[in-house]
């Protein structure tokens, strides 16, 4: 496979876009993504943090310690992955990571791979979705995306501007994709409005270095609180009603209790911080 370094956005030539490679390289190695060439985009995607504007090439490690970054986003980065991964992994790559559903990662021919069955629904789904899980029960793994959705952040790509929430879509029979990103579309920058207060809380299997079983981001702006969850739906989940509206599977109802407790704690933290 050829590896090229792009020095302008005109030099992508249909290659697979590579940032830190912490997600793409394992997917390639395991045959979950195929391509003839890789294009390293780190030279053409902005990286700095300038007030509300954050380059999509910024690493999670850079975000977690920058005081310009709202608390919810800093904490979501700090609690993600391991220090080594956060040193390499970028904001853009984090938003576009694939599901951790073990059936999908083992390349079972499930619905998300274009097949006609969701193996998790009938099989092992302890870590799967409790919302919007009727077609595909995968749980979105990005702490960072949930924080950005709660913060009402927007994205600038080489083709358009959109909210972070609009980057994601639920997969359907006709279209199995979980993002709205077009072929050759590159995320360049994220704009994060400064909230009055924000917080990110995360429940994990271990105390550190694990994907969210449930992550809860809450942000208050102009007296209005937005709450978004990680690990509970196939996409980052903006909570518009009560957690009780969840439709858990037989072996993941515990996530409803965890989500309720974290939402309660996040709201209390916004009151007192």
Ligand X SMILES: Cc1cc2nc3c(=O)[nH]c(=O)nc-3n(C[C@H](O)[C@H](O)[C@H](O)COP(=O)(O)OP(=O)(O)OC[C@H]3O[C@@H](n4cnc5c(N)ncnc54)[C@H](O)[C@@H]3O)c2cc1C
- Dihedral sign for Cα 265, 247, 146, 89, please: positive
Q: Binding ligand X by CB under 6 A: which of 15, 70, 141, 236?
A: 141
Total site size for ligand SF4, rule CB under 6 A: 14
Least distance (Å) between residue 136 CB and ligand SF4:
3
- The entry of ligand X, ligand SF4, none near residue 138 (CB within 5 to 8 angstroms by kind) is ligand SF4
Q: Binding ligand X by CB under 6 A: which of 96, 101, 192, 219?
A: 96
Question: 160 is written with which tokens?
Answer: 């358009």
- The entry of ligand X, ligand SF4, none near residue 101 (CB within 5 to 8 angstroms by kind) is ligand SF4
Q: Does 237 bind ligand SF4 (CB under 6 A)?
A: no
Residue with tokens 């990680």: 230
**213-227 per-residue burial string, b: 16 or more CB within 10 A, e: under 16:** bbbbbbbbbeeebbb
**164-183 per-residue burial string, b: 16 or more CB within 10 A, e: under 16:** bbebbebbeeeeeebeebee
Least distance (Å) between residue 107 CB and ligand SF4:
10
Rounded-to-integer distance, Cα 8 and Cα 44, Å: 6
Q: Does 103 bind ligand SF4 (CB under 6 A)?
A: yes
Which stretch, 8-16, 66-74, 101-109, 239-247, contacts ligand SF4 (CB under 6 A)? Answer: 101-109
Least distance (Å) between residue 191 CB and ligand X:
15
User: 113 — phi, psi (to 5°)?
Assistant: -90, 10
Between residues 111 and 140, which has the closer beta carbon with respect to ligand SF4?
111
Q: Does 136 bind ligand SF4 (CB under 6 A)?
A: yes
- The entry of ligand SF4, ligand X, none near residue 153 (CB within 5 to 8 angstroms by kind) is none
Closest Cα to residue 152, out of 167, 162, 163? 163
Mapped onto helix, strand or coil, the DSSP state of residue 138 is: coil
Closest Cα to residue 41, out of 1, 14, 2, 6? 6
- The entry of ligand SF4, ligand X, none near residue 142 (CB within 5 to 8 angstroms by kind) is ligand X
Question: 206 is written with which tokens?
Answer: 């271990």
Strands 154-157 and 187-191, by their bridges, are antiparallel
Residue window 168-187: x/- pattern of binding to ligand X, with contact defined by CB under 6 A: ------------------xx
Q: Does 110 bind ligand SF4 (CB under 6 A)?
A: yes
Rounded-to-integer distance, Cα 227 and Cα 238, Å: 6
Positions that interact with ligand X (CB under 6 A): 16-24, 45, 56, 60, 80-81, 85, 88-90, 92-94, 96-97, 141-144, 186-187, 211
């Amino acid at each position: 496979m050829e590896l090229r370094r792009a020095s302008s956005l005109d030099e992508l030539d249909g290659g697979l876009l590579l940032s830190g490679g912490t997600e793409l390289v394992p997917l390639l190695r395991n045959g979950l993504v195929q391509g003839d060439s890789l294009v390293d985009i780190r030279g053409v995607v902005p990286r700095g943090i300038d007030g509300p504007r954050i380059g999509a090439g910024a690493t999670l490690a850079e975000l977690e310690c920058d005081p310009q970054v709202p608390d919810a986003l800093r904490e979501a980065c700090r609690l993600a992955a391991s220090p080594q991964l956060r040193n390499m992994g970028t904001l853009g790559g984090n938003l576009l990571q694939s599901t951790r559903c073990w059936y999908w990662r083992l390349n079972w021919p499930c619905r998300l791979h274009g097949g006609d069955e969701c193996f998790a629904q009938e099989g092992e789904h302890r870590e799967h979705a409790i919302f919007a899980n009727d077609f595909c029960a995968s749980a979105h793994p990005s702490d960072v995306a949930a924080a950005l959705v709660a913060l009402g952040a927007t994205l600038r790509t080489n083709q358009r501007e959109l909210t972070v929430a609009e980057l994601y879509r639920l997969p359907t029979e006709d279209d199995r994709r979980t993002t709205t990103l077009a072929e050759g579309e590159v995320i360049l920058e994220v704009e994060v409005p400064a909230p009055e207060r924000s917080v990110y809380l995360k429940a994990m299997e271990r105390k550190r270095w694990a994907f969210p079983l449930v992550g809860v981001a809450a942000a208050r702006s102009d007296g209005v609180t937005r709450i978004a969850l990680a690990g509970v739906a196939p996409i980052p989940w903006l909570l518009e009603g009560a957690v009780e509206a969840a439709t858990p599977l037989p072996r993941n109802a515990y996530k409803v209790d965890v989500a309720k407790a974290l939402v309660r704690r996040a709201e209390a933290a916004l009151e007192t911080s």
